[in-house]
Amino acid sequence: DWTPDSFVEETVEAIREKVGNGKVVLGLSGGVDSTVAAVLLNKAIGENLYCIFVNNGLLRKNEFENVLNQYKGMGLNVKGVDASKRFLEALKGIEDPELKRKAIGNSFIEVFDDEANKLEDVKWLAQGTIYPDVIESVSATGGPSATIKSHHNVGGLPDFMKLKIVEPLRAIFKDEVRRVGATLGIDPELLGRHPFPGPGLGIRILGDITAEKVRMLQEVDAIFINGLKAWGLYDKVWQAGAMLLPVNSVGVMGDERTYEKCVALRAVESTDGMTADWVNLPYEFLQKTSNDIINKVKGVNRVVYDISSKPPATIEWE
Ligand code: XMP
């Protein structure tokens, strides 16, 4: 029967058998899946694993620097590539959610390909694909949800990369991935991180994306997430984040009338992201968080809390 230890042992063996002395490139995202995949591969093939961590400029506040340092501390052979400007440039003026995903996905492929081409003789591309990603992309080819969203992890290999794929987590679920990560000695805080979408804050800024809006949402998000941690609520929530709405509303500040942005906070309970319920966060927490956001983040004068379940809503707003 399945245990994380036997999984690690068998998978390390299988990876060695599959890739031999071949070099493997892997894109790290900061998330649990790609991290566990990288540590497994590192255990199996060591320096033949080349990790690339791209900053798309749409990560959480300080995430790129913090997570890159954490990866290095774990002994991973990782290169950080700050491509924020390139992504922002590609996103300029785009409002449609699917076009944003495409712009972000294409920019990622370009940046990743540039980096992978700098490495010589790479034969394999490793990915942190897990079982639910596999099912969701299969159902997305024919099901009624086919055009709702293009999830990016599966089947997105561009022809020109021509690499063979290795996906050590393809048969297991998220909770198993976390258990495998724990067995591998990965920091529990990293393993307990909430899921975060590949397009990042790009799909949490409704409407067009600018550097200023990204900065604003990073501040809002940091206050919300740090608050959840400080109140011991973070681990009770499956996923949380903030959306910057394309709406201005009237407020007052002293004796001035303001006309500024509104943000929506969202926190959900879920087991796999396929269905989700909004979390009944304590009023005192919401009150404090709203005050902190409005007092500290310039340009925001209103905070709302999303009380919609999935279905019929989705977790993200785009
Ligand atoms: P929805 O909004 O569809 O989200 O209820 C379900 C889960 O998927 C994440 N999500 C994405 N992840 N690329 C990703 O890598 C995407 O384009 C994307 N869209 C949604 C979302 O954050 C949630 O965990």
C-alpha 316 to ligand 1 mean position (Å): 6
Is the same domain home to 159 and 229? no
C-alpha 75 to ligand 1 mean position (Å): 29
Cα–Cα dist 217/233, whole Å: 21
Please check the confidence at residue 180 and state whether its pLDDT lies above 70: yes
Q: Does 313 fall in a domain?
A: no
pLDDT tier, 318 (very low <50, low <70, confident <90, very high otherwise): very high
> Tokens for 15?
């990876």
Which are the contacts of 224, defined by CB distance < 8 A and separation ≥ 6? 240, 241, 242, 265, 289, 293
Residue 84 is assigned to a ligand binding site: no
> Tokens for 196?
């975060």
Is the same domain home to 234 and 122? no
Cα–Cα dist 263/240, whole Å: 13
pLDDT tier, 1 (very low <50, low <70, confident <90, very high otherwise): confident
Please check the confidence at residue 176 and state whether its pLDDT lies above 50: yes
Helical (H) or strand (E) element with 259: strand 256-269
Q: What is the residue whose two structure tokens read 């609520």?
A: 233
What pLDDT shows up at residue 51?
97
> Tokens for 68?
């890159």
56-83 pLDDT, tens per residue? 999 999 999 999 999 999 999 999 999 9
Pocket of ligand 1 (CB under 6 A): 101, 149, 151-152, 195, 197-199, 239, 273, 310, 314-316
214-235 pLDDT, tens per residue? 999 999 999 999 999 999 999 9
> Tokens for 63?
């995430």
Is the same domain home to 230 and 83? no
Please check the confidence at residue 257 and state whether its pLDDT lies above 90: yes
Last residue of a domain, one of 167, 191, 215: 191
In angstroms, how far is the first alpha carbon of the chain from the final one? 40
**Residue 150 Cα: closest atom of ligand 1:** 17
Where helices occur in 81-145 by DSSP H, the ranges are 84-91, 97-118, 131-142
Q: What is the mean pLDDT of the chain?
A: 92
Domain span at residue 286?
Answer: 204-305
ipTM surpassing 0.95, yes or no? yes
Is the same domain home to 250 and 276? yes
Is the same domain home to 82 and 216? no
Q: Does 33 fall in a domain?
A: yes
Please check the confidence at residue 146 and state whether its pLDDT lies above 90: no
Is the same domain home to 180 and 232? no
Report the domain count for the chain.
Answer: 2
Q: Does 197 fall in a domain?
A: no
Residue nearest (by alpha carbon) to ligand 1 atom 20 = 197
Residue 175 is assigned to a ligand binding site: no
CATH number at residue 116: 3.40.50.620
Rounding to the nearest 10 degrees, give the CA dihedral for residues 181, 184, 187, 190: -30
Is the same domain home to 80 and 102? yes
> Tokens for 189?
């805080």
Residue nearest (by alpha carbon) to ligand 1 atom 18 = 197
User: Model pTM?
Assistant: 0.90
What pLDDT shows up at residue 149?
41
